[in-house]
């Protein structure tokens, strides 16, 4: 069986109302443009009838495929599993809440195939979100641009297109789906583009994300910034900090001891070393330095023996 032109990967959680319309809309756009395709729906442990809808749609169109997690693992895990299964020349991701328009698919495909982008991220320039969501989003994207050096306006947009090699190269875990452009760049895929896309008002249900996602987003940004720079060389980070901390503490200790000895030799009255607060600061510096150095050493040992086993369990699959 030849690989399709396009793989649509849709992570979802409790979206039974929107799924039939979303699938049919995708099918119409793909067929009208003559694309061969597969639609991979990853049910992230829904507790509504989302899986039944997927089963029904798959029985009608064998190009509709499903993956069902035994419990909710999060969007990153759903995308990661979809990326493992997809076979399309171009992989397009979108959310299941009908806020992403499948009409964008042909142009996204052309940007990958004809314009030779490795990845194209959607930019919802005009949004239908409340101000309590738009302002944190803009701040988050500004910080993400600064950390990553990637000039995108909307890192968290679910509508993205990838060359197949990109999704097969990245490992998406935790809450790192926001930073797939960062991961792609780290893997050497540097031609990352952007396309203004339509942001549609939510038609069914309610958002699954609260304000906490922005807090987690900034923490994840710090984490991925560290990982991309030091994953293969943790000793460079921990060892450098540890050495500096140890050196500063050691020099301060020597200075205090020298000052004590010199004072005694001159017949001066000097405080005991242990009576000086600076001595304890130096002692902390030495201890922290040793701990950081050991942390870097242990991280290097762990890195040599690491593997990327997934810890989420799939309950059912359709079409694979």
Domain check: are 90 and 223 in the same one? yes
Contact 183, 172 (CB under 8 A): yes
Domain check: are 225 and 239 in the same one? no
Q: What is the pTM of this model?
A: 0.73
Give the pLDDT band (50/70/90) at residue 140: confident
What region, left, alpha or beta, does residue 309 occupy, with left being phi > 0 and alpha being psi -120 to 50 degrees?
Answer: beta
Listing from the earlier edge strand, what are the strands of the sheet with 160-163?
192-196, 119-123, 160-163, 90-93, 6-12, 37-43, 64-69, 314-318
Domain check: are 128 and 164 in the same one? yes
The residue range of the domain holding 24 is 6-231
Domain check: are 56 and 130 in the same one? yes
Is residue 272 domain-resident? yes
Contact 304, 232 (CB under 8 A): no
Write out pLDDT tens, residues 8-23: 999 999 999 999 999 9
Whether residue 61 has pLDDT greater than 60: yes
Write out pLDDT tens, residues 259-294: 888 888 888 887 787 788 888 999 999 999 999 989
- What is the domain count for the chain? 2
Least confident span in 52-66, 211-225, 260-274, 303-317: 303-317
Domain check: are 42 and 178 in the same one? yes
Is residue 137 domain-resident? yes
Highest mean pLDDT: which of 88-92, 96-100, 151-155, 289-293?
88-92
CA–CA gap between residue 279 and residue 283 (Å, rounded): 6
Contact 79, 11 (CB under 8 A): yes
Is residue 310 domain-resident? no
Is residue 23 domain-resident? yes
Domain check: are 190 and 275 in the same one? no
Domain check: are 277 and 166 in the same one? no
Whether residue 90 has pLDDT greater than 80: yes
Residues in contact with 134: Cβ distance below 8 Å, sequence separation at least 6, in sequence order: 127
Write out pLDDT tens, residues 210-230: 556 656 666 666 776 676 666
């Amino acid at each position: 069986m030849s690989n399709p032109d396009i793989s649509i990967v849709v992570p979802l959680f409790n979206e039974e109302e929107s799924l039939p319309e979303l699938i049919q809309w995708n099918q119409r756009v793909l067929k009208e443009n003559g694309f061969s395709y597969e639609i991979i729906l990853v049910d992230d442990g829904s507790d509504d009838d989302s899986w039944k809808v997927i089963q029904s749609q798959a029985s009608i169109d064998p190009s509709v495929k499903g993956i069902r997690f035994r419990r909710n693992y999060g969007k990153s895990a759903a995308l990661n599993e979809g990326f493992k299964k997809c076979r399309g020349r171009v992989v397009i991701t979108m959310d299941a809440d009908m806020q992403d328009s499948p009409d964008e698919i042909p142009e996204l495909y052309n940007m990958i195939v004809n314009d030779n982008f490795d990845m194209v991220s959607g930019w919802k320039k005009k949004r239908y979100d409340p101000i309590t969501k738009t302002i944190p989003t803009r701040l988050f994207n500004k910080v993400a641009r600064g950390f990553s050096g990637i000039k995108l306006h909307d890192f968290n947009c679910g509508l993205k297109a990838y060359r197949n090699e990109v999704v097969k190269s990245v490992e998406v875990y935790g809450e790192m789906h926001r930073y797939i452009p960062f991961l792609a760049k780290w893997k050497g895929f540097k031609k990352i583009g952007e396309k203004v896309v339509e942001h549609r008002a939510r038609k069914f249900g309610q958002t699954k994300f609260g304000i906490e996602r922005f807090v987690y987003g900034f923490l994840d940004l710090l984490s991925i910034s560290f990982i991309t720079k030091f994953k293969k060389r943790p000793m460079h980070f921990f060892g450098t900090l540890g050495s500096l901390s140890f050196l500063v503490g050691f020099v301060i200790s020597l200075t205090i001891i020298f000052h004590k000895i010199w004072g005694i030799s001159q017949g001066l009255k000097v405080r005991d070393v242990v009576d000086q607060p600076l001595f304890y600061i130096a002692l902390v510096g030495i201890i922290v330095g040793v701990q950081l150095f050991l942390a870097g050493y242990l991280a290097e040992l762990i890195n040599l023996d690491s593997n990327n086993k997934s810890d989420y369990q799939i309950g059912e699959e359709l079409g694979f």
